[in-house]
């Protein structure tokens, strides 16, 4: 009996030692590989801390969007980079100017084609806080108004001063937003070598599609669909139809229209 007790005690002790060592061994391995990666990275990029020039294309459509971009610019500034905020005006709107750190360059660019900014903000609030079906005439009118936003792209693209200024800055990186695809063309035209999407909200379907993020409609309901995490069969059918409609609509109403604007300005190969 004594022997048996010692045997179990040994087994228990061995198990305890193994259990305690396992995580520490894996943690050590991870720590070792992490520090290797860090030193490799530091070795490759000398000097380790580089200051980048960053263009932040900000949709001037409401202070929630503007504030988000200002905060990002301030963080980049604090990290030693040189951000420039390009405030892209898309509507006629008089909103309270938000304070920006004076070390951040702010350039306002007018792109409004006479769209009523107060109406835009009212639409946003009305459709966010009321349950309006997509076939409602008010909804269709609002969608038509939102569909006009691409017209602002023409004003940005034909502003030679703006394009020349962006190009002459020699930016290392640009950020853009998900409302339309206009800044992508501007980034390409002004030869900024790298860019990222900077979205203040959820991953937009259009962004997911162009970036290659899979959004299978049987699990991911499309933009504006009222559904939870689990979809029943009927919801999946609805989701599939909505996804097809959204993708087609976004391409034909936004991206393709803007591509035509760039081609009109810079030739058919753009």
Ligand X SMILES: *[C@@H]1O[C@H](CO)[C@@H](O)[C@H](O)[C@H]1NC(C)=O
Binding residues for ligand X, rule: CB under 6 A, are 92-94, 107, 109-110, 116-119, 122, 159, 161-162, 165
Tokens of 16: 């305890």
Task: Specify the residue, 109 or 142, whose C-beta has the smaller distance to ligand X.
Answer: 109
Of 139, 91, 144, 94, nearest to 115 by C-alpha is 91
Task: Specify the residue, 74 or 110, whose C-beta has the smaller distance to ligand X.
Answer: 110
Task: Specify the residue, 192 or 220, whose C-beta has the smaller distance to ligand X.
Answer: 192
Tokens of 179: 């409302």
Task: Specify the residue, 154 or 205, whose C-beta has the smaller distance to ligand X.
Answer: 154
CB of 81 to ligand X, least distance (A): 21
Task: Specify the residue, 109 or 220, whose C-beta has the smaller distance to ligand X.
Answer: 109
HEC per residue, the chain? CHHHHHHHHHHHHHHHHHHHHHHHHHHHHHHHHHHHHHHHHHHHCCCCCCCCEEEEEEEECCHHHHHHHHHHHHHHHHCCCEEEEEEEECCECCCCCCCCCCCCEEEEEECCCCCEHHHHHHHHHHHHHCCCCCCCHHHHHHHHHHHHHHHHHHHHHCCHHHHHHHHHHCCCEEEECCCCCHHHHHHHHCCCCCEEECCCCCCCHHHHHHHCCCCCCCCCCCCCCCCCCCCCHHHHHHHHHHHHHHHHHHHHHHHHHHHHHHHHHHCCCC
Task: Specify the residue, 86 or 177, whose C-beta has the smaller distance to ligand X.
Answer: 86
CB of 101 to ligand X, least distance (A): 20
Task: Specify the residue, 117 or 221, whose C-beta has the smaller distance to ligand X.
Answer: 117
CB of 55 to ligand X, least distance (A): 12
CB of 161 to ligand X, least distance (A): 5
CB of 168 to ligand X, least distance (A): 10
CB of 154 to ligand X, least distance (A): 11
CB of 121 to ligand X, least distance (A): 8
Q: What span, in angstroms and rounded, lies between the C-alpha atoms of 33 and 131?
A: 52
């Amino acid at each position: 009996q004594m022997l048996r007790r010692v045997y179990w005690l040994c087994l228990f002790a061995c198990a305890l030692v193994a259990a305690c060592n396992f995580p520490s061994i894996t943690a050590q391995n991870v720590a070792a590989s992490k520090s290797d990666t860090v030193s490799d990275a530091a070795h490759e990029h000398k000097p380790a801390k580089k200051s980048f020039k960053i263009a932040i294309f900000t949709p001037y459509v409401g202070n929630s969007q503007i504030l988000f971009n200002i905060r990002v610019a301030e963080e980049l500034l604090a990290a030693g980079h040189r951000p420039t905020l390009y405030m892209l005006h898309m509507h006629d709107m008089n909103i309270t100017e938000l304070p920006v750190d004076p070390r951040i360059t702010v350039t306002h660019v007018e792109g409004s084609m006479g769209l009523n900014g107060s109406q835009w903000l009212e639409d946003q609030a009305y459709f966010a806080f009321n349950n309006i079906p997509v076939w409602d005439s008010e909804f269709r009118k609002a969608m038509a108004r939102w569909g006009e936003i691409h017209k602002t792209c023409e004003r940005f693209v034909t502003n030679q001063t703006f394009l020349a200024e962006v190009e002459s800055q020699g930016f290392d990186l640009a950020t853009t937003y998900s409302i339309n695809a206009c800044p992508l063309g501007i980034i390409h035209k002004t030869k900024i070598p790298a860019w990222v999407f900077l979205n203040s909200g959820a991953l937009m379907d259009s962004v997911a599609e162009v970036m290659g993020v899979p959004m299978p409609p049987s699990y991911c309901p499309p933009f504006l669909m009222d559904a939870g995490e689990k979809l029943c069969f009927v919801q999946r059918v609805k989701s599939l139809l909505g996804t097809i409609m959204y993708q087609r609509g976004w391409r034909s109403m936004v991206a393709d229209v803007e591509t035509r604007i760039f081609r009109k300005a810079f030739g058919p190969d753009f």
